Amino acid sequence: MQEEKNKIEAVLFTTGRFLELEEIGKLCGVGSIGYIKTVLGELQKEYAGRSTALEIINDKDRWKLNIRKDYLHLTEKLLSDAELDMPTQATLALIAYKQPAIQSDVIRTRGNKAYDHVKKLKEEGFLIAEKFGRTRILKLTTKFYDYFDVVEDELKGKLIGIPEDNEEELSKSDSQQNL
């Protein structure tokens, strides 16, 4: 059971978001949902018994490794200083999905703020831009693939589950965040 606890702990730590039992099972290579739930319960008890800044949260059979409320104030500054803010990340995700992307299409989908996102992404070395008529073609660099630990040929496969109309969702999430 300790090996499964370690795997689950690693998955929860790495994802940093709520995961359903089935997803945890897939990521850990364990087929029994009941067993996953048992292991998670044991792990949750262990964290509750330790004097640690972390805890395992269960919300309607969705699980997450989280920072205890008492220590959140220490991490707020770190989280707000992330290298790429959420709107810029959304623009990068769209470009990665379309790879290579036409800048005018990205701007049409993401709005005029995307010009700033593209500029920042180029400065950070995640993108290159080449002239393409009156617009530009945006391409991912090797830094992108290294930074996000993705193999170029496998990128489309990882993004294949994203619906085509997800561009609209990205645009909505950006406008909601700007409110």
Are residues 47 and 100 both part of a single domain? Answer: no
Is position 94 within any domain? yes
Residue that is last in its domain, among 74, 96, 116: 74
Range of the domain at 11: 2-74
Whether residue 2 has pLDDT greater than 80: yes
Whether residue 29 has pLDDT greater than 80: yes
Q: Kind and range of the H or E element at 133?
A: none
Render pLDDT for 64-95 as a digit per residue (tens, 0 to 9): 998 888 887 776 655 555 577 888 888 998 99
> What is the number of helices (H) and of strands (E) in the chain?
10, 6
Work out how many domains the chain is built from and give that number.
Answer: 2
Distance set, CA 168 to CA 4, 91, 93, 104, 171 (Å): 39, 12, 13, 16, 5
Give the domain CATH number at 162.
1.10.10.10
